[in-house]
Each structure stands twice: as structure tokens, then as C-alpha cells.
A and B are shown apart, each in its own frame.
Chain A
Amino acid sequence: EPEVTQTPSHQVTQMGQEVILRCVPISNHLYFYWYRQILGQKVEFLVSFYNNEISEKSEIFDDQFSVERPDGSNFTLKIRSTKLEDSAMYFCASRTGLAGGSETQYFGPGTRLLVL
């Protein structure tokens, strides 16, 4: 069964550094998402992406964040200047957008980001 994949699984960075988190959504999916989960807390929406543009973003997704689909398979989240409070697990998710079961979002295994 196809799965969403993410790299790296863990990333440690210094405050102020840029990080890029990578995701490969399921191949025929049309909608892509980034969520984050601070340790011990609930999953929070960051941004959704459809038709090569951001369709919705949360208040967390400020100017330090950007997303890109550089080719037909990858979907990336960039944090330009990391802060301590960016430490979290970042999940990528995707869904088909087609009729019949199109709402189901499939999550990747996550990237644990630690900002020191």
C-alpha cells in the first residue's frame, strides 16, 4: 500500500538556522498538508497546498515558513530562521481530492525537529 514518506526522520539545528523538511506524498494525491505536534500536545494544522499554491494557512505559518513542490513528487517545508519554539514533530499528509473517500488524509512518519 502506498505511503507518505518524509526525510529526515530527525533534525537537530541551531537557533536561527534554516531547515528544509521533505515529504513525498502518495503519487495520485492532489492535496498536501503540513501539521506539527509539540511533544505531548495535539496535532496542529500549518498549511494546505493544492494546484501548486497555498490554499490555507494557520496563524502559526508566519513569514518564516514556506512550502514548495519543486517537482512532481516532493513537497517541502522550509523554516528560514528557526526558533526554540519550532521544536516539534512535523507531519506531512496528503489526500486524493477525488470523489469517494477523498477526505481521508494519510500521514507521513514525521520529522522530529529539535532547535537548540
Chain B
Amino acid sequence: GENVEQHPSTLSVQEGDSAVIKCTYSDSASNYFPWYKQELGKRPQLIIDIRSNVGEKKDQRIAVTLNKTAKHFSLHITETQPEDSAVYFCAAPNAGGTSYGKLTFGQGTILTVHP
């Protein structure tokens, strides 16, 4: 099955700085990589995703890059704001003919943005 590793486990930045979170995955057939933001006690909310036919996707201050050869993908947040403080999870679905899209999550990154 899929194995997803996420680093760092905690990240502390000053407001306005950039933050980068990295994930690696094991199943080379995986073709979809979502990033979820989870605020304390709340549901995981999809913030951006990328499919394997592109190398980068951007949405305002958030971007995701994908390196299929190396099997890693990264979340980039620019001009961080205090409201970006949350836990961020990467995920990858099980691939293959019998897959029904089960997501395997990384361990999470606690991002703290200091004003």
C-alpha cells in the first residue's frame, strides 16, 4: 500500500515569510495529491491539489509542486499570515485497478505564523 512521509513535523515562521512542507510517497502509480488544512477541532479542508500530469499548481499564495521521478510533492505558502496557522496534511490515494480512492495521510505539520 501507499506510504506517505511528511516533514517537518513543526514549522514556525514570522508573518510575511514563506513556508514549505514536503512529502514523499511510495506508490509510483499514485496520480493525485491533495493538501488539507486542519484548524484545531475542525475538519480537514482541502486547500489545493495536484494531478500527476502537471508539475506545479498555484492558487494565490499557495502552490504545490510535484516531482514524479523522485516521488515527492511540496506545499509552498508565501506571505504567510497568522490565520495560516494550522496543521497541514498531505495525502496520496491508493492507486491501481482495485482502488476506491482511500487516502493515506502524512503525519501532519504544525505551522505557526508569528505576527
Identify the A interface with B (CB < 8 A): 31, 33, 35, 41-45, 48, 50, 55-56, 91, 95, 103-110
Contacts and interface: CB of A to CB of B under 8 A. Distances in A.
Nearest to B32: A103
Across the A-B interface, give the 4 residue pairs with the lowest CB-CB distance, nearest first. A55-B100, A103-B32, A107-B43, A48-B100
A42 B100 contact: no
A69 to B, nearest CB: 15
B103 A50 contact: no
B105 A43 contact: yes
Contacts of A103: 32, 34, 49, 51, 93, 101
A110 B44 CA distance: 9
B45 interface: yes
Nearest to A33: B102
Given A35-B103, A42-B105, A45-B102, 17 more contacts: A31-B100, A33-B101, A42-B89, A42-B106, A43-B44, A43-B91, A45-B103, A48-B101, A50-B100, A56-B98, A56-B99, A56-B100, A91-B43, A105-B34, A107-B44, A109-B42, A109-B43
A95 B104 CA distance: 15
A24 B106 CA distance: 26
A39 to B, nearest CB: 10
Contact of A95 (B42, B99, B101): B101
A58 B72 CA distance: 24
A63 to B, nearest CB: 20
9 contacts: A33-B103, A35-B103, A41-B107, A42-B107, A48-B101, A50-B100, A104-B46, A105-B101, A107-B36
